[in-house]
Structure 1
Amino acid sequence: MPIIKLSATERRRVSAFFTCLILAVCAWIFSVLSNTYNYTVKEALNFKNTPQRRAFHSLQSDTVNVTVTGSGWEMLFSRMNNKVKVFTVDLNSLENKSYIVLSTQLDQINNKREIGQQITGFIPDTLYFDFSNRKVKRVPVKLITSIRYNKQFSQSDNITIKPGYVIVNGPASVIDKLTEWPSDTLKADSVNETLNTDLGLQPVKEGNLSIYPKTVRVNVPVDEFTEKTLLIPVKLINNYNYDDVKIFPQKVKITFMVSLSRYAETDEDFFEATANLDLWRNQGYKVLPVVVSKIPWFCKLVKVEPQNIDFIVRK
């Protein structure tokens, strides 16, 4: 049972009061957010017209704090949006000096921005650069992969990358340390056929480096694999004294996985099995373990039968 019982007329008055209060608050918020304010946001730098005769290295972060003039609505939305905006800085004057004053480019920067997002200042306003000799180097592409194959499917031949090299341009001190350039990760799941795709290269982390090209063509041959069994002779090694040694058995059975496309051509000549007589001479082994010392890269060994062989040394 309510403590205060209002009549119908009083309830209408209370409802009208709160309605007016809410409308007044909304009008006040709308009025406040419609005003113009100066506020600070972080924006990233993008360089153009970089020096061709000198390599450069920025001595500060690739982002700066900018003071922006805009409405309260724009300020509110900028706080809610985590995406960092980018503005372009012209480095043409670095041909004869080692710093850039951002405020001198304010007009051309604002010409490319929306009317309600005009910049009025930068922190810091001056960007300083370090210079060194520029060098060009050709380095191989390092492929990064994360591929999962369907059951009984796998890579069946060498991966090809076209082009296999990239041209890196930048300071000699950095270029001399480069031996390869990594790609983005090639990701694929449940693969059961050859992959043929364009793949991007990892972007440069320094503003004074450049690479060409920025993408490569990658071909990953994929085929179905099956088991195959062969009998191959065992070769005795480290028989320094040319002893008369008989081994039993003289051949072992190896089982391996091979792609269907190479099944017919893969024979005994692709493999070699050895037994080391030094294990008897130096360590007193009674039987010699069999080691498959030669196997094609496109095959995967499953098992060897038997794993050990008997032998007789005749004096």
Structure 2
Amino acid sequence: MAIIKLSPTERRRLSAFVTCCVVAFAAWLLTVLQGSYNYKVKCILTYNNIPQRRAFRTLQSDTVVATLQGSGWQMLSARMHNEDEHIAIDLHTLDTKNFIALEAQLPQINSKRSAEQKITDFDPDTLYFDFTNRSTKRVPVKLLKNITFQPQFDVAGNVRLNPAYVFVSGPAATINKITEWSTDSLKVTDVEANVQAKVDIAKVRDGNVSIYPKIIQVFVPVEEFTEKTLEIPVQLSNNVHYYDVKIFPQKVKVTFMTPLSKFAEINDDYFDAVADFGLWAEHKYSSLPVKITRLPAYTKIVKIEPQNVDFIVKK
């Protein structure tokens, strides 16, 4: 392929031509972007002044398409970021109507926006609602938590919530399906002492449901744990034919972690160690695994020695 060689003068002319083209394009783009345009963006509706005496559900999506009037720069920014806007809609007229005309609220909506970026239209421009009887229900609070502890520390008692219940209010059909209400996640790290905190109730996703109160006080008892070992008698279960069975050994050593405050009081009466004789009767096991079926609250089994026991069936 032939290579075109340009003289120094021709190269200067070509450079000047390219520079002029770039400058002209930049000037044109700047002029275009400074103009005024109508463009569309998706908007997520949020609701204010929800009727207290009427429960409702929306008959359409909570997302509408809004036509905005703004500069080319604003239109370009909206296209690049592609983020949905949030628009607050006033529902106070639902006390007497079953629809909201968005156009009627344009002055109120635009008063909270930049004067250079006004909304001119919505699609759809009317929201319709279905009304039902409003119901109130008391439900337990479920704490979501993500707590990590320093070595040897852990939860040492019942987590206390104040209040332990919240009131949810809304359409009866919706409220009847609610059996509990979660909190936001309580996140604490490297814990070595009791945790006391305030946690927000999880946000309501349905605009016609309300909840009270919105903040819960949480107390998590935390203690240092230590290791303890006890000998626990092994009990035989599922001996349905009442065979005369001798177990070897008759006790197993159970090593567990327990809060320091409980260390002295915990003895073998707090544990049940069980071997299932049905495993021999049905499956001919030669030894029986030992399971701990009862243990004190907030203790954690470390190991069982031995994990299996031998036995003799006397005939």
Q: Give TM-score, length-normalised by structure 2.
A: 0.84
2:281 is equivalent to residue 268 of structure 1: no
Q: C-alpha separation between the residues in 2 aligned to 1:167 and 1:281?
A: 53
RMSD over equivalenced CA pairs, Å: 3.3
Q: Which moved more, 1:252-261 or 1:269-278?
A: 269-278
The CA deviation at 1:289 is 5.9
Amino acid at match of 1:5: L
CA spacing shift, 1:280–1:71, aligned 2, 3 Å: closer
Does structure 1 retain, via aligned residues, the 8 Å contact 2:243–2:313?
A: no
Tell me if structure 1 keeps the 8 A contact 2:248–2:309: no
Supply the distance in 2 between the matched residues of 1:22 and 1:71 (Cα, whole angstroms): 23
Q: Is 2:309 the counterpart of 1:308?
A: yes
Q: Are residues 1:87 and 2:98 paired?
A: no
CA distance, structure 1, for counterparts of residue 248 and residue 217 of structure 2: 52
Deviation string, structure 1 residues 27-67 (Cα, Å, up to 9, x no partner): 11111111111111111112112111100111111111011
Amino acid at match of 2:24: A
State the alpha-carbon separation in 2 of the partners of residues 111 and 159 from structure 1: 47
TM-score between the two structures when normalised by the length of structure 1: 0.84
Report the CA distance shift for 1:16/1:248 in structure 2 as closer, same or farther (over 3 A). closer
Structure 2 residue 208 is matched with structure 1 residue 198: no
Counterpart contact for 2:249–2:309, Cα < 8 Å:
no
| Unmatched segments (≥5 aa) in structure 2 | none
Deviates more, 1:226-235 or 1:269-278: 269-278
Does 2:4 align with 1:3? yes
CA gap 1:14/1:299 in 2 versus in 1, 3 angstroms: same
Instruction: Tell me if structure 2 keeps the 8 A contact 1:290–1:309.
Output: no
Please name the residue that 1:96 is paired with.
96
CA distance in 1, matches of 2:51, 2:239: 68
Q: Which amino acid aligns with 1:131?
A: F
User: Residues of 1 paired with 2:247 and 2:67: CA distance?
Assistant: 86
Please report how far the alpha carbon of residue 309 of structure 1 lies from its aligned counterpart in structure 2 after TM superposition: 5.8
The one-letter amino acid of 2:99's match is: Y
Compute the displacement of 1:86 (Å): 1.6
Q: Which moved more, 1:284-293 or 1:161-170?
A: 284-293
| Residues 1:174 and 2:174 are matched in the alignment | yes
The CA distance in 1 between the partners of 2:89 and 2:181, in whole Å, is 27
Where 1:86 maps in the other structure, the secondary structure is strand
Q: Out of 187-196 and 232-241, give the one that drifted further.
A: 232-241
2:144 counterpart SS class:
strand
Q: Percent identity?
A: 50
- Structure 2 counterparts to residues 226-245 of structure 1, below 5 A: 226-234=226-234
CA contact (8 A) 1:289 1:309 kept: no
Residues 268 and 78 (structure 1), Cα distance of their counterparts in 2 relative to 1, 3 Å cut: same
Q: Which letter does structure 2 place at the counterpart of 1:124? A: P
Q: Residue 17 of structure 1 aligns to a residue in which SS?
A: helix
Which residue of structure 2 lines up, in the alignment, with residue 43 of structure 1?
A: 43
**Is the counterpart of residue 256 in structure 1 residue 276 in structure 2?**
no
Give the whole-Å Cα distance in 2 for the aligned partners of 1:46 and 1:289: 59
